[in-house]
Amino acid sequence: MEKLKIEGGNPLKGNIKVSGAKNSAVALIPATILADSPTVIEGLPDISDVHTLKALLEEIGGSVEFEDGEMRVNPEGMVAMPLPNGRVKKLRASYYLMGAMLGKFKKAAIGLPGGCYLGPRPIDQHIKGFEALGATVTNEQGALYLRADELKGARIYLDVVSVGATINIMLAAVRAKGQTIIENAAKEPEIIDVATLLSNMGANIKGAGTNVIRIEGVDELHGTRHTIIPDRIEAGTFMILAAAAGEGVTINNVIPLHVESLIAKLREMGVPVEIGDEDVYIGKSENLKSIDIQTLVYPGFPTDLQQPMTSLMTKIHGTAMVTDTIYSARFKHIDELKRMNANIKTEGRAAIVYGPSVLQGARVKASDLRAGAALVIAGLMAEGITEVTGLEHIDRGYSDLIEKLSGLGAVIWREEMSAEELEQVNNA
């Protein structure tokens, strides 16, 4: 097992390119099951979640090629193979196999999903949607069994605005009989991306990106070619990193509208930001002002950037409050930042940052994907060497991170862990 080592304090300069969106990729790949002929998705990130989903499609009989970010999925040999255990536990988004397989085969058996622990992450709204469409859903020894004689369109009001439930219901409804209306739907760009793929496959979807989505079921879907949207969370991570340790960094392959809330907050802190058509420039920032952040559903400030932002906020002059309204336990990175000399207190869903602190290199552990991103940023800001373990989380969502950061002048590398270090990490 490897750890990441970072020599902090090297000024970052130049250009860094954002990859395709992880949270789109993990839905687009299962969506290819719904077609009766091959689909090609271009621009996929080279991350472990994508490789896991490729293997899952192969497990159900699909034939999948993946090279240079382009995935070709031939669904012709796919069957409704139960997937109660194994790879489905590796990522949260394996729940999209439920919607896609239910939509195609009218049945699915999928183990309850894994993924980052950020507090309780129920999927009751997904289930409510499947049941409204006519499926029977039972939980048998940690796997959900979904069965329907026929799927029929329905009006579904989501009690919680959920990205996963919105997409999963779309996947199950596109081949159902009649009209489905999803009310109080989530509006994230990834939902529009999935709806675009499905529409190009022959689905009839209106309103994706608003809070009411209307779907007219069709009998069959065909393969198509689709280019994924850029990853707004990776873009945001790079913008924050540039503000934290940069002296002029341009982030390429960004849709600036997707990161508007972050741009607003960075400007409020005093970070120089210039917006181009498909790129964002972050200038050297000094004397950062204190700001408060509250995570909200899109287009509000994304919870996925809350953790990286906390690292940057250790530089502010004053006190700042971060409140996560989406997840109750997304603060595991804070204990690690404290090891690096940050002065932060947590109280329930809020963290109070007292700045400025000069971060010091330390041995820290990534407990989840974005905690990993927060610690990499902290390592780049810190004096001395930082060692980050828990890389399996970072590898789930950031492709070619070392190459990309090295291109900006960061001193960052991977090292094999010794047996003793492995034991320490496992016992921690």
Q: What are 152's two structure tokens?
A: 């029929």
387-426: which residues touch ligand EPU (CB under 6 A)?
A: 397
Interaction of residue 125 with ligand EPU, rule CB under 6 A: yes
Nearest alpha-carbon partner for 141 in 92, 84, 97: 84
Active site residue 100: no
Q: Does 368 belong to an annotated binding site?
A: no
Interaction of residue 301 with ligand EPU, rule CB under 6 A: no
Alpha-carbon distance of 68 to 354, in angstroms, equals 44
| C-alpha to C-alpha distances, 21 to 27, 228, 229, 286, 330, nearest whole angstrom | 10, 7, 6, 31, 21
The torsion of the CA quartet 93, 96, 192, 152, rounded to 10 degrees, works out to -160
Interaction of residue 303 with ligand EPU, rule CB under 6 A: yes
Alpha-carbon distance of 367 to 115, in angstroms, equals 11
Residue choice 226, 339, 370, 393 for contact with ligand EPU (CB under 6 A): 370
Please give the helix or strand (H or E) that residue 373 lies within, else none: helix 369-381
Interaction of residue 6 with ligand EPU, rule CB under 6 A: no
- Residue 235: strand, helix, or coil: helix
Interaction of residue 300 with ligand EPU, rule CB under 6 A: no
- Nearer to ligand EPU (CB atom), residue 339 or residue 393: 393
Q: Does 232 belong to an annotated binding site?
A: no
Residue with CB nearest ligand EPU?
164
Interaction of residue 327 with ligand EPU, rule CB under 6 A: yes
Nearest alpha-carbon partner for 261 in 304, 233, 302, 290: 302
Residue choice 305, 326, 334, 374 for contact with ligand EPU (CB under 6 A): 326
Interaction of residue 173 with ligand EPU, rule CB under 6 A: no
- For the bound state, the minimum distance from the C-beta of residue 128 to ligand EPU, rounded and expressed in Å, comes to 8
Start-to-end C-alpha separation, the chain: 16
Q: Does 316 belong to an annotated binding site?
A: no
- For the bound state, the minimum distance from the C-beta of residue 158 to ligand EPU, rounded and expressed in Å, comes to 8
**Catalytic amino acids?**
116
Give residues in contact with ligand EPU (CB under 6 A).
23, 26, 92-93, 116, 121-126, 160, 162-165, 186, 233, 302-304, 326-327, 369-370, 397
